[in-house]
Structure 1
Amino acid sequence: MDFEQADALNQAIRLLSLRHRARAAALLDPLGLHPGQEALLLELARTGPMIQAQLSEALGCEPPSVTLMTRKLEANGHIRRKPAPSDRRASIVELTDSGKALADQVKQLWCALAEETVTGLSAETVAELPAILNTLTGNVDTRRPSHPHGRRHGAVAPSRRAGHVDGVDR
Structure 2
Amino acid sequence: MDFEQADALNQAIRLLSLRHRARAAALLAPLGLHPGQEALLLELARTGPTIQAQLSEALGCEPPSVTLMTRKLEASGHIRRKPAPSDKRASIVELTDSGKALADQVKQLWCALAEETVTGLPAETVAALPGILRTLTSNVDTRGPRPAHDRRHALVAESQRTEGR
SS in 2 for 1:120: coil
Cα distance between partner residues in 2 of 1:45 and 1:69: 16
User: Map of 1:147-162 to 2, 5 A cutoff?
Assistant: 147-150=147-150
> Match of 1:115?
115
Percent sequence identity is 91
> Match of 2:142?
142
More relative contact order in 1 or in 2 (CA 8 Å, sep 6+)?
1
CA drift of 1:144 comes to 1.2
The superposition leaves residues 7-62 of structure 1 with CA deviations (integer Å, 9 ceiling, x where unpaired) of 00000000000000000000000000000000000000000000000010000001
CA drift of 1:148 comes to 4.5
> Match of 2:25?
25
> Match of 1:164?
none
Provide TM-score, normalisation by structure 1. Answer: 0.87
AA aligned to 2:63 is P
RMSD: 1.2
> Match of 1:72?
72
CA drift of 1:147 comes to 3.7
Instruction: Decide which structure has the larger Cα Rg and report it.
Output: 2
Cα distance between partner residues in 2 of 1:75 and 1:57: 23
Cα distance between partner residues in 1 of 2:41 and 2:128: 26
User: Map of 1:26-45 to 2, 5 A cutoff?
Assistant: 26-45=26-45
Cα distance between partner residues in 2 of 1:121 and 1:147: 29
CA drift of 1:149 comes to 2.9
Structure 1 unaligned spans of 5+: 153-170
Cα distance between partner residues in 2 of 1:148 and 1:36: 31
Q: Is the helix fraction higher in 1 or 2?
A: 2
Give runs of ≥4 in structure 1 deviating > 2 Å: 145-152
Structure 2 unaligned spans of 5+: 153-165
User: Map of 1:76-115 to 2, 5 A cutoff?
Assistant: 76-115=76-115
Q: 1:93 to 1:15 in 2, by over 3 A?
A: same
Q: 1:28 to 1:54 in 2, by over 3 A?
A: same
Provide TM-score, normalisation by structure 2. Answer: 0.90
Q: Tell me, yes or no, if the aligned pair for 1:139 and 1:151 is still in contact at 8 Å.
A: no
AA aligned to 1:98 is S
Equivalent residues, number: 152
Cα distance between partner residues in 2 of 1:54 and 1:44: 11
> Match of 2:7?
7
AA aligned to 2:43 is E
SS in 1 for 2:33: coil
